[in-house]
Amino acid sequence: QVQLVESGGDLVQPGGSLKLSCAASGFPFNFYTMAWYRQAPGKGRELVGDITHNGITNYAGSVKGRFTVSRDNTKYTAYLQMDSLKPEDTAVYYCYVFYLGKEFWGQGTQVTVSS
């Protein structure tokens, strides 16, 4: 079955960096767009960025220029590099794939930006 497992969340100071990973299994990873979403306390889930099977990326305006989505098709893993972090980036970050007409989510990883 499809599994998405995020890792790398942590407490980081404003201006710092963090890299999240999403290990995928149970579907042909190389052929599907992978996305990162986040959900801050009291807010809805929002798209952070995504990457197509061949590496084309798309970002939310709030993170453009600071975050980078990448993937390693040999490792079935997607990444989210986050730089110049701000307190408003504090959220649970989720990995997502839409496969065979269904949505699949990871369990999420907590990112807290605070001094």
Residues 6, 87, 15: CA angle, nearest 5 degrees: 85
Task: Provide the pLDDT for residue 16.
Answer: 98
Mean per-residue pLDDT over the chain, rounded: 97
Pairing of strands 102-105, 45-51: unpaired
pLDDT in tens, 63-102: 999 999 999 999 999 999 999 999 999 999 999 999 999 9
CA atoms of 65 and 72, how far apart (whole Å): 21
Tokens coding 90: 């504090």
pLDDT in tens, 12-50: 999 999 999 999 999 999 999 999 999 999 999 999 999
